[in-house]
Amino acid sequence: MYKDELLIKFENRSAVVGLIGLGYVGLPLAVEFGRAGFQVIGVDVDQRKVDALNAGRSYIPDVKSEDVETLHSAGRLLATIDYAELKTADAVSICVPTPLRKTRDPDMSYVISAAEKVAEIAHPGFLIVLESTTYPGTTEEILQPPLEAKGFTIGKDVFLAFSPERIDPGNTHYGVRNTPKVVGGATAACTEAAIALYATAIERVVPVSSMRAAEMVKLLENTFRAVNIGLVNEMALMCDKLDVDVWEVIEAAGTKPYGFMKFTPGPGIGGHCIPIDPLYLSWKLKALNYTARFIEVADQVNMSMPHHVVDLIQNALNEDGKALKGARILILGVSYKKDIDDLRESPALDVMAALVVNKAEVSYHDPYVPAVGLNGVTLKSIPLLPKALALADCAVIITDHSTFDWEMISQHARLIVDTRNALRNVQNGRSRVVRL
C-alpha cells in the first residue's frame, strides 16, 4: 500500500524530496529534482552553503546561480541546517562525505550521523537512498538497523536503496540527467520505489539485484581507473629509468583500435573518488582475510608520484647548478584536475608540502583557487605574469587548466617541470622543459 502511494506521488510530482549534503553530489541532484517538478529540501551542516542557496547563489561551478535562483523563487528548492524540516519529505537521498582517516581506513561518521537523524524523522511511506561511496554492506549495516529499531519493516513501511553517485566535476558532456543511474534496493519493492524516483529526473536508470551489488558497481568503476592510472604511472617511472619518452609510447599504443584504453600519467591522483574508493574495498576485504593486491600496489604507486615530481624538480635544478633549498618554485594549477576549483586529495598539495619541507620558496597560480592552506599558512594565488615566471627558478605544471597560455609560459619561464605533457604542442618555447 505504501509503495503504491509513493509511486503515485513520484509520478504526479506531489512528493517532497530531501537531500542530505549539498556539495558536489547533492546540489546538482537537488537541482535536477527541482527541474523535474518536485519541492526539494536540502540539508547541510554548512550555514554558508545554506545561506547562499536561499539567496539564489550557487557555489559549485557545474550548477548555475540562475538555476538555483529560479528554483528557489518558485519554492522548489529550500536549504536548511535543520533535519526536522525533512519530516515532510517522502524521499531522501544521502550525499554526505565518506573520507579516509589518516590511517587510510574509512571514516563512516558522516553516514552514521545521517542514518541516525533519518531514522528519527522516518515515517511510513518513506524512501531512503544512500549515494555516498562506501564499502559493500554499508547500507545494510548502517542505515537499515536504526530503521528497524524504530519498528519499520523494510520494503513494506519504509524503502531503502543504494544508488552510487556518478558526478564528474567539470564534465561538460555528462551530468546528472544524462549519466545512467544504478539502483539497488533492500527488497524488490525498494528497488521499484527508487527507480520510480530517479526516473523522473534521470534519462536512464539501471537496476541491479541488491544494495551490495550497487555499492560494488561504484567501487569497480573507480578501482578500474585507479589501477590503470597506477599502471601508467609506473610505466612513466620505468620509462624514466630506461630513457624512453613515456608520452610517445602512450600515443603510439593508443593507435591500436582494440584491446587498449589510453590512460596518462600525472603527479598523483585526486578528487574524492579515485584515490579513496578502492581503499574502501580493500579495507572491507581485509576483514574477510583477503588482500586486494592490485588495489594496494596501485595505491602505493599513485601515492609515490608527488615525491617523484619533487625529485624531478630537484634534479632539474641541480642541472642548473641550483639547490632545492631556497629555490623559487612556482606551481601552475593546484586543483586535482583541470578547469575546476576542487582541491580534494589534490597531488599539488603533497608536492607543495614536500617542497616547503625542503625549504623551497613556494608560490602558485590557479585561476580557480584563490587561496590554499598549507602547513598552517595560507597562500594566495599570484597573477601569472611574465615577471613572475622569469623570477621563478622552476615552474611546475601540476594542473593543465585550459585558460593557461602555454606559449607565454614557455617564453618566459627558465625551467619547467611538466607533469601533464601540457607543452607538447608548443613550438617556439625558450624554456628548458623536463617532462614526467
Active site residues: 273
> Residue 223 corresponds to which cell in the numbers above?
578501482
- Are the beta carbons of 222 and 245 closer than 8 angstroms? no
Interatomic CA distance for residues 303 and 332, integer angstroms:
20
Interatomic CA distance for residues 305 and 395, integer angstroms:
17
Interatomic CA distance for residues 126 and 91, integer angstroms:
6
Interatomic CA distance for residues 388 and 282, integer angstroms:
44
- Are the beta carbons of 192 and 4 closer than 8 angstroms? no
Place of cell 591500436: 256
Residues whose CB is less than 8 angstroms from the CB of residue 205 and which lie 6 or more positions away in sequence, other chains included: 180, 181, 183, 195, 198, 199
- Are the beta carbons of 228 and 42 closer than 8 angstroms? no
How large is the greatest C-alpha to C-alpha distance in the chain, in angstroms? 78
> Residue 363 corresponds to which cell in the numbers above?
608560490
3-class state of residue 432 by DSSP:
strand
Residue 40's beta-bridge partner residues? Answer: 17, 77
- Alpha-carbon radius of gyration of the chain: 24
**Eight-state DSSP code of residue 85:** G
- Are the beta carbons of 178 and 203 closer than 8 angstroms? yes
The pairing of beta strand 181-185 with beta strand 205-207: parallel
Q: How far apart are the first and last CA of the chain?
A: 61
> Residue 293 corresponds to which cell in the numbers above?
593486491
